[in-house]
Amino acid sequence: MKFKSISIVFALLVIASMVLAACQPQTVETVRTVVVTQEVEVEGTPVVVTQVVEVTPEAPAQEPASDEPVTMDTYDTTDIPTLDPQIGEDTVSIGYIENLFVHLTNYDVETAEIVPEAATSWEVSEDGLTYTFTIRTDIPWVYHNPVTGETTQVNRPVFDEEGNQTGEEPAFVTAEDFAYGIKRACDPNIGSYYSGVVAPLIAGCSDVLNYEDPANIPQELIDAIGVSAPDPETLVINLEFPAGYFLSMTPMWTLAATPSWVIEQHGENWIEAGNIVTNGRYVLNEWVHGVRRILLRNPLIPEDLAGTGNIERIVTNVVPDVSTGYALWLNNEVDTSSIPTEELAAHLEQFPDETEQFPDLAVFYFAFRMTKPPFDDVRVRRAFSAAFDRETFVAEVLQGQGLPMKHLAPPGIFGAPPIDEVGVGFDPEYARQQLEEAGYPNCEGFPTVTLIGYSGQSTLNWIEYAQNQYETNLGCDPGVIQIEQLPFAELLTATEASLPDEQAPHMWTLGWGPDYADENNWVGDVLWCQTDNRSKRTCNEIDDMIVEARQEPDPERRQELYAQIEAAFFGPEGEFPIAPFWLRIAYVADHTWIDNPRSLFGGNQWYNWTIDWDAKVAARGG
């Protein structure tokens, strides 16, 4: 069995080494169809038309032809929520955005160092408030025709000083495209979670994001956002304060360049196959929502940006659950797969050389609607956190695929307190005491509450375990905890902060993986009251500490503050907007023919993955 490691998480791997313990194949039929969205004129009026176009079927995936392009076959259990860089907030969307768009900078997957991408170099002012990036101007914006399969460079409109269009010119990525994308991230009207992540750092961005009348934001406020492009090769970003960790945020998709003229033309539909214009290593060839998507290599990407991998096509089918996907892996129909918990022991015994274990630093937790009774009472939230036996859960339910967590930020993140020093964790006596003080001794009189989890058997195992824990340790009848499962995108919609409390669940499952290696990405971007927090926290002195820690230049003082913040959230007198449970260190099934270094931050860089095509074809009987 192989264990993927990254230098930044070395301390975590040492801890993990001490803690971790050691179906029938199915075939998914797919139909080769393409969803094409285009604007046509009907009696002089522009109308957006979406249609499904059938094209010539390809050879079945399980019988690859020798002249077939090098293809990665994979699956997912959900549709892509979005391909919009400024709106993406989930791992599925972020993974596709990483491969369809170049970013300002990127992470080296082996060292976690910031490396150039669209920006070839950068300078920081002495006061730490101004970052100046030199942008390469040889990256073309491209359009892929999903029917003909042709990828071409697009033109963009050219305007005179009065704003009149005078013609078109070949479109290359410029500093202005990045400035447009970053300013767009400050717009409250796009409804992006990550707007609240970047806004506190960029000068003027919060003024726009939090403007009282989003439909009528004054142009002078938009113009005052601290992002400018003096020329096509120069991007200047001005910060609100000298955040030493800002450079580690520059690979984020939220700061990526986006094509303004395409968004203006198609609106929300600009991301659909047949509309989308991209600039990354792959293009979108097909996206049949909830069924299948296909990416193809972008033949026009500059050679030095193309990546080290050889995968020319990525085919992803949507399946009902991980068990179905794993069955496809057993049948050599997909290259990589998660492993169902119930299959793990047999898999480890049978496929030790086709198993990876990867510590992705994602922490999973229950979130509470803090404004909805009974979880408006902090003692109830404390009880439901402390009644969950994390160590038993990791050992028995996850079969060692994780570490128990009792605060939020994991080891390997700057500012994270030691894993066992801050937080209550599992303490059934404390949990019963808190619930009794809240007026529910032995759960008597406790109202029925809803607990929503992601779809899939592994999440069902998790929420049923919690249901049992609350019966065993709090005395709550299982019927009191009404559990339900939703696809991830629907869960996000069902828990939006804007929903009235009566429409929102009491509790739900969530996980947070790192976007950059700083504690601010955890307590600041997840729990700070001014983010789009689904728990609906009210601002208090903890948030003052979060702001102080974010702006503090002294690293030692920042670490002290973050330990205090984590204790204020998860200590005995903590606020507990969420209940952290475990850090994921999951096993993954990888066939021997794929070499796929996984990314700790952002989406996986499929353009750096390699497949031994001859070995794959031979294994599948081609």
Domains parsed from the chain with CATH numbers: 33-305 (3.90.76.10), 360-584 (3.10.105.10)
What are the structure tokens assigned to 329, written together? 């892996």
SS3 of 11, please?
helix
pLDDT over 80 (residue 315) = yes
Q: How far apart are CA 346 and CA 335, in angstroms?
A: 19
Q: What are phi and psi of 143, to 5 degrees?
A: -120, 130
SS3 of 550, please?
helix
Exposed (0-12), middle (13-18) or buried (19+): which is 275, by Cβ within 10 Å?
Answer: buried
Q: Write the pLDDT tens digit of every residue in 404-445.
A: 999 999 998 999 999 989 999 999 999 999 999 999 999 999
pLDDT over 50 (residue 23) = no
Beta strands in 396-476 (DSSP E): 402-404, 449-454
pLDDT over 90 (residue 450) = yes
SS3 of 79, please?
coil
Q: How far apart are CA 297 and CA 313, in angstroms?
A: 6
* C-alpha distance across the termini of the chain, in Å: 27
Is the Cβ–Cβ distance between 251 and 113 less than 8 Å? no
pLDDT over 90 (residue 32) = no
Q: Write the pLDDT tens digit of every residue in 250-267.
A: 999 999 999 999 999 999
For residue 274, give the nearest of 144, 438, 378, 381 by alpha carbon: 144
Q: How far apart are CA 261 and CA 405, in angstroms?
A: 46
Give pLDDT, residue 365. Answer: 97
Q: Write the pLDDT tens digit of every residue in 542-578.
A: 999 999 999 998 999 999 999 999 999 999 999 999 9
Q: Write the pLDDT tens digit of every residue in 337-350.
A: 999 988 999 999 99
Dmax over CA atoms of the chain, in Å, equals 75
**pTM summary value:** 0.81
Q: What are phi and psi of 145, to 5 degrees?
A: -85, 110
Contacts 24+ apart (CB under 8 A), 220-228: 222/183, 222/186, 225/182, 225/183, 225/186, 226/202, 227/178, 227/179, 227/182, 227/183, 227/202, 228/179
Q: What are phi and psi of 543, to 5 degrees?
A: -70, -30
List b or e across 577-608, with b for residues whose CB sees 16 or more CB atoms inside 10 angstroms: bbbbbbbbbbbbbbbebbebbbbbbbbbbbbb
pLDDT over 80 (residue 124) = yes
The mean pLDDT value of the chain amounts to: 89
Give pLDDT, residue 173. Answer: 98
The percentage of residues in the chain with a pLDDT greater than 70, rounded to a whole number, is: 89
Q: How far apart are CA 182 and CA 163, in angstroms?
A: 22
Residue 204 Ramachandran class (φ > 0 left, ψ -120 to 50 alpha, else beta): left
What is the average per-residue pLDDT within 358-387? 96
Give pLDDT, residue 412. Answer: 85
Is the Cβ–Cβ distance between 180 and 257 less than 8 Å? yes
Q: How far apart are CA 341 and CA 333, in angstroms?
A: 20
Give pLDDT, residue 4. Answer: 43
Give pLDDT, residue 43. Answer: 52
What are the structure tokens assigned to 255, written together? 């700061």
Give pLDDT, residue 11. Answer: 39
Which H or E run contains 264?
helix 260-266
pLDDT over 90 (residue 49) = no
What are the structure tokens assigned to 144, written together? 């892929």
Count the residues in the chain: 622
Residue given tokens 């038309």 in the structure block: 49
Q: How far apart are CA 190 and CA 541, in angstroms?
A: 30
Give pLDDT, residue 66. Answer: 54
Which H or E run contains 574?
none
Q: How many contiguous H segments (helices) and E segments (strands) does the chain have?
A: 17, 27
- Read out DSSP for 495-549? T-TTS-GGGS-SEEEEEE--SSSBGGGTIIIII-TTS--TT-PPP-HHHHHHHHH
Q: How far apart are CA 470 and CA 231, in angstroms?
A: 60
The percentage of residues in the chain with a pLDDT greater than 90, rounded to a whole number, is: 77
Q: What are phi and psi of 63, to 5 degrees?
A: -130, 65
Q: How far apart are CA 185 and CA 201, in angstroms?
A: 12
Give pLDDT, residue 158. Answer: 85
* Angle subtended by helix axes 428-437 and 378-386, to nearest 10: 160
Residue given tokens 């026009």 in the structure block: 300
Q: What are phi and psi of 597, to 5 degrees?
A: -65, 115
Beta bridge partners of 278: 142
Lowest mean pLDDT segment, chosen from 189-193, 299-303, 326-330, 434-438: 189-193
Is the Cβ–Cβ distance between 81 and 88 less than 8 Å? yes
Alpha carbon of 192 to those of 125, 195, 490: distances in Å?
A: 30, 5, 16
What is the average per-residue pLDDT within 592-605? 92
Q: How far apart are CA 394 and CA 403, in angstroms?
A: 7
Considering Cα of 43, then 44, then 46, then 52, what sign does the dihedral take?
positive
Q: Give the pLDDT band (50/70/90) at residue 459.
A: very high
* Angle subtended by helix axes 457-474 and 322-330, to nearest 10: 130
Residue 55 DSSP one-character state: -
Is the Cβ–Cβ distance between 156 and 261 less than 8 Å? yes
Show the CA angle centred on residue 470, arms to residues 467 and 473, nearest 5°.
145
Q: How far apart are CA 482 and CA 478, in angstroms?
A: 8
Residue given tokens 């009696």 in the structure block: 43
Q: How far apart are CA 221 and CA 205, in angstroms?
A: 9
